[in-house]
Amino acid sequence: MPAIDVAGEFETIQRLLKPLAHPEWARGLADDVAALPSRPGHDLVLTKDAIVEGVHFLPDDPLDTVAQKLLRVNLSDLAAKGAEPFGYLLACHWSERCGWPEREAFVAGLRRDQAIFDIFLLGGDTVKTPGPASFSATMMGWAPSGAAVSRGGARPGDLVFVTGTIGDGWLGLQAAQATLTLEPERMDALEAAYRTPMPRVEFAPVVLGLATASADVSDGLLADAAHIAEASGVRLEIDLEVLPMSAAAQAWFEGRVDPQAALELLASGGDDYEILLTLPAGAENALRREAERRHLRLTCIGRVTEGRGLSPRYLGQAITPTRTGWTHG
């Protein structure tokens, strides 16, 4: 790691980050590179996401959960490709508020998720910045050669499924900002979904074996469905009335006066980190069995047809939503 943050970089590396490093590949974080052995018959699958204070996390979010979210949004990308994660490169841009206790908290979050997901730190960089804090990770995983699932394989006749529930990330941000009022246990559940989403890593082998196309739901369910439709050259019809909701989201939904508008908000909010996938209708039973084995909720939310683009529907009628999700500059 090159020396930029002279006041705290080396101590941060030696005392906090070195214990997270892979015992061999990371070279003790004493070098400018990591050295990975090749894995015959596999492709190295890489993804990179960054999170910025005030944009992707709130200024008062605990830094241990910020670290966990950083890892998890990247792990979600790999899971949607059917890849098995093993390690990551990390860049920390510490703001003025990130003193030693804050750095310890951030590393505690990394350590917690390394144990959960069986991954290691491989290297990176740490600097100070006068601006807001920001962090990025490059997550690495393995997939059998040529088998990583793309957005571009959906075919007419396929069914569209999504894991878990939709809308909790968007509602969780509102809960964290105290702009939402629900029972305390509902608020806690939504805040947890926003701060520490659970990537569907355990479902990656199923995606690899059955899906024709997939993406993780980060920009918004409708936006990510549109990405699959565009990449595959097909139309995805999405039925909003069957959108899977958590108990907390259902409690919020029941208070809405316009159910269609409320469903559009949930389907475009983003930050859910579920897996959206397509597969042939004949593979539906196998997919459901695998989800049941993992105690994972799975919902058929639409179909792939001839044509192009996204076709959201509500109670059988095509609609034009106000928005489909987030776009990034």
Q: From the CB of residue 31, how many other CB atoms can be counted at a distance below 10 Å?
A: 11
User: Is 47 part of any known ligand binding site?
Assistant: yes
Q: Which residues contact 4 (CB under 8 A, 6 or more apart)?
A: 125, 126, 127, 128
User: Is 320 part of any known ligand binding site?
Assistant: no
- 19 φψ region: left (φ > 0), alpha (ψ -120 to 50), beta (else): alpha
Task: Output DSSP code: residue 114.
Answer: H
User: Is 269 part of any known ligand binding site?
Assistant: no
Nearest to 310 by CA among 214, 238, 219: 238
Q: Which single residue is written with the structure tokens 């750095």?
A: 103
User: Is 118 part of any known ligand binding site?
Assistant: no
User: Is 22 part of any known ligand binding site?
Assistant: no
User: Is 38 part of any known ligand binding site?
Assistant: no
User: Is 216 part of any known ligand binding site?
Assistant: yes
User: Is 227 part of any known ligand binding site?
Assistant: no
User: Is 328 part of any known ligand binding site?
Assistant: no
Quote the CA–CA distance of 225 and 309 in Å, as a whole number.
Answer: 9
User: Is 60 part of any known ligand binding site?
Assistant: no
Quote the CA–CA distance of 145 and 58 in Å, as a whole number.
Answer: 39
User: Is 327 part of any known ligand binding site?
Assistant: no
Q: Which residues contact 286 (CB under 8 A, 6 or more apart)?
A: 210
User: Is 126 part of any known ligand binding site?
Assistant: no
Q: How far is CA 121 from CA 32, 79, 80, 273, in A?
A: 14, 18, 21, 22
Q: Two tokens at 60?
A: 């008062």
Annotated binding-site residues for substrate read: 56, 271, 326
Annotated binding-site residues for Mg(2+) read: 32, 47, 49, 77, 125, 216, 219
Annotated binding-site residues for ATP read: 124-125, 151, 218
Annotated binding-site residues read: 32, 47, 49, 56, 77, 124-125, 151, 216, 218-219, 271, 326
